[in-house]
Amino acid sequence: MNRREYGERVLSCLCRLTPEERAAALAEIDGHIEDHMADLLDAGYDEALAEERTLGAMGDPEEVGRALERQYPLRWLVLGRIAVVLAVAAGIQMLLGLGMLGMVFDSVTARIYPNEPTELNTVASAERVDIRVPVGDDVLRVYRVSVGQCGDELGLWEAEVSLCAYDRLPGGIVSSRLLGETRLENQRGETGRHSGGRGSWRAEYQRMYAPLEPGDTFVTLAYERLGERVHLELPLPGEVGS
């Protein structure tokens, strides 16, 4: 069974799709498979084996299709990427049970569409990004940069950088030290706080903050350990308020 056949078997369980919705759903499922395969190809798998392992990890297509049908029982009027990812992950969870699957869900989400909530009370500007930096056997991913106020101190502006980390090999264990020893600096080299750390052996999530002043245009994500060095300049998505 190839990826096209897998998608068709998933969609055979969905009885409420228009032709346009069916084409969009098939494209989204294929895109999810392609993203997962890309990680395996980067890890050294050949294309045929990467496709086989990816389809195996996604689970039985009919079971996934039935899970998707329950997730969207009325009508798929708008089909977004994150909806498919979450629904497919829910189908996999249904097949393989809880516990370890919670870790798999975190790992898949970190690779495809991480989306932890912001902690800023007032968000002046925010931008989704997709910056992935290999660090040893892991990948450090920045997926959102925001500017706003936390509300704890009137007039204090902060940059909030949302990031996650996962092992390069799907199913591998991520280093718990990677996010813990990463820091965020403003243009004056000042570091802020960490918040919202959570995750599992398969993926870790973190929000990092740096104080801002009017005129600041970027912050820097930094990590140095055991010969590995990350020094990543991140443009701010908007002007810092006065």
Instruction: Give the HSE-up count for residue 38: Cα atoms under 13 Å, Cβ half-sphere.
Output: 9
Q: What is the DSSP string of 170-237?
A: TTPPPPTHHHHT-EEE-TTS-B--EEEEEE-SSEEEEEEEEEE-TT--EEEEEEEETTEEEEEEEE-S
Q: What is the DSSP letter of 143?
A: E
Please give the average pLDDT of every successive group of 10 residues along the chain, which has 242 residues: 85 74 75 75 79 76 72 46 49 45 65 84 91 90 92 77 87 80 93 77 88 94 84 91 62
Q: What's the confidence (pLDDT) of residue 192?
A: 86
Report the pLDDT value the prediction gives residue 184, as an integer from 0 to 100.
Answer: 95
pLDDT at 104: 60
Q: Please, what are the domains in the chain?
A: 3-97 (no CATH), 122-235 (2.60.40.1240)
Token pair of 190, please? 């000042």
pLDDT of residue 95: 44
- The reported pLDDT for the residue numbered 196 is 67
